[in-house]
């Protein structure tokens, strides 16, 4: 059922996803073509905010902070999975796989590769990315909880 807290959670986590996508782009090799990566991340963040955070509001501010962080982690997992599937499909259309099973296995290899790139600790922009995901997720959860208490 649509509520104002779900709407606010969806918009906030879409914004957090856009910021995280832009921070992730800094970690990729120079010359990488991203296409609609930021828009895709915004859509995934919107869905995670609506279905995960929006559903779990109304349980107090302490739980809201934790649920916001959980929503950010869920966003990262879904974004890695969806982007890996899209990369696999692109590679499949370029005939880089010998069998369908090789393509399916490569989804997880691509997700692992990008996940490792996401959390490589030896770069200066890691605190920015983690801050956007963890602190932004927690604050997004608090704001969704505030909206629930304010307008419902």
Q: What angle do CA 113, 116, 119 make, to 5 degrees?
A: 150
Q: What is the mean pLDDT of residues 120-144?
A: 85
CA atoms within 13 A on the CB side of 63: 9
List the chain domain ranges. 4-151
pLDDT at position 30, please? 85
Give which of 134, 147, 19, 150 is closest to 65, Cα–Cα.
Answer: 134
Record the pTM.
Answer: 0.90
Contact partners, residue 38, CB within 8 Å, separation at least 6: 18, 21, 22, 25
2 contacts: CB under 8 Å, gap ≥ 6: none
pLDDT band at residue 27, thresholds of 50, 70 and 90?
confident
Q: Looking at residue 45, what is its pLDDT? A: 97
Select from 13, 83, 74 the least CA-distant residue to 42: 13
Q: What is the mean pLDDT of residues 92-96?
A: 91
* Residue 92 near residue 103 (C-beta atoms within 8 A): yes
Per-residue confidence (pLDDT) for residue 68, from 0 to 100? 96
**Integer Cα distance of 107 and 122 in angstroms:** 25
For residue range 45-56, list pLDDT tens digits in order.
999 999 999 999
State the pLDDT at residue 131.
86
Token pair, residue 27, equals 């970690």
């Amino acid at each position: 059922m649509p509520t104002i807290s779900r709407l606010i959670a969806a918009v906030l986590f879409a914004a957090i996803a856009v910021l995280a996508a832009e921070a992730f782009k800094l970690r990729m090799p120079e010359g990488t073509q991203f296409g609609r990566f930021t828009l895709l991340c915004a859509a995934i963040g919107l869905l995670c905010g609506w279905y995960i955070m929006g559903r779990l509001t109304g349980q107090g501010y302490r739980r809201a902070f934790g649920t916001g962080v959980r929503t950010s982690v869920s966003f990262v997992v879904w974004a890695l999975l969806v982007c890996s599937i899209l990369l696999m499909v692109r590679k499949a259309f370029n005939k880089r796989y010998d069998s369908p099973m090789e393509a399916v296995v490569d989804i997880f290899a691509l997700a692992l590769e990008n996940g490792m790139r996401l959390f490589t600790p030896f770069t200066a922009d890691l605190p920015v990315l983690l801050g956007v995901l963890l602190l932004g997720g927690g604050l997004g959860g608090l704001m969704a909880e505030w909206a629930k208490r304010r307008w419902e």
